[in-house]
Amino acid sequence: MKTMTLDQMTLGERGIIQGYEGEEDLHYRLKELGLVRGTAVLVKRFAPLGDPMEIVLRGYSLSLRKQDAAKILVSRENQGL
């Protein structure tokens, strides 16, 4: 199982959140939005200029910036859909 950060995932890829890189107060809001350990995420799309990105989690879609996604550790699931 390979660990990477959320912003490195490619379109349509699925992963499981493993935690956060560093400790920042800003992460707390992301956790409150459901991006906690063990959450399954799917990369839905990237904005035309490559940033931000939209992900699907817990049955809803959320757009966030790559700079924030870069702090979220994920493990890629074996098969992408």
Partner 1 sequence: MKNITEKKNKEIALVGNPNTGKTTIFNALTGLRHSTANYPGVTVEKKTGWMKLPGGEDVSVLDLPGAYSLLPRSLDEDIVHDVLLGVRCDTPPPDLVLVVLDANNLERNLYLATQVLETGIPVILVLNMWDMVRKSSASVDLEKLQKLTGVPCVPTVGMEREGIQKLEAAIASVFMETSPAPANLRFDPFLPEILKIELDKIVVVIENCLKDRPEAVFGESLRLLSDRLFRSSFFEDVEIGNLLRTEILSVRSSLKQRGIDWTSVEPECRYTAIEHLCGQIIRRVPQKALTFSEHLDRILTHRIWGVVAFIAIMGIIFQSIFSWAQGPMNLLSRFIEKLGGLAQGWLPTGPLQSLVVDGIIAGVGNVIVFLPQIFLLFFFIALFEDTGYMARAVFVLDKLMKKVGLNGKAFLPLLSSFACTVPGVLATRTIEDRNDRLATILVAPLMSCSARLPIYTLLIAAFIPNIHVFHVLHLQGLTLLGLYLMSIGAGLGVAALFRKTFLKGNRMPFVFELPPYRIPHLKTVLGTMWDRAKEFITRAGSIIFLLSIVLWFLVSYPKDPVAATKFSAARQVAAKTCSGEVLQERLGLIEHDEKNQQLRSSYAGSLGHAIEPAIRPLGFNWEIGIGIIASFAARELLISTLAIVHHVQPEGEGMTAGLIDALQKQRSTETGKLVYTPLVALSLMVFYVLACQCFSTFAIVKRETGSWGWMFFMIFYMTGLAWGSSFLVYQGGRFLGFQ
Compute how many residues bind partner 1; rule: CB under 8 A: 33
Q: Which of 3, 11, 12, 63 binds partner 1 (CB under 8 A)?
A: 63
Which of 3, 11, 12, 19 forms a contact with partner 1 (CB under 8 A)? 19
Best CA proximity match to 66, nearest among 44, 79, 51: 51
Q: Does 45 bind partner 1 (CB under 8 A)?
A: yes
Is 15 a binding residue for partner 1 by CB under 8 A? The answer is no
- Indicate whether 58 belongs to the interface with partner 1 (CB under 8 A): yes
Residues contacting 11, CB < 8 A, separation 6+: 43, 45, 46
Please give the distance of CA 64 from its chain centroid, rounded to a whole number: 9
Shortest distance, position 25 Cβ to partner 1, whole Å: 7
Q: Strand locations in the chain, DSSP E?
A: 3-5, 14-20, 40-46, 53-57, 60-64, 72-76
- The answer to whether residue 5 forms part of the interface with partner 1 (CB under 8 A) is no
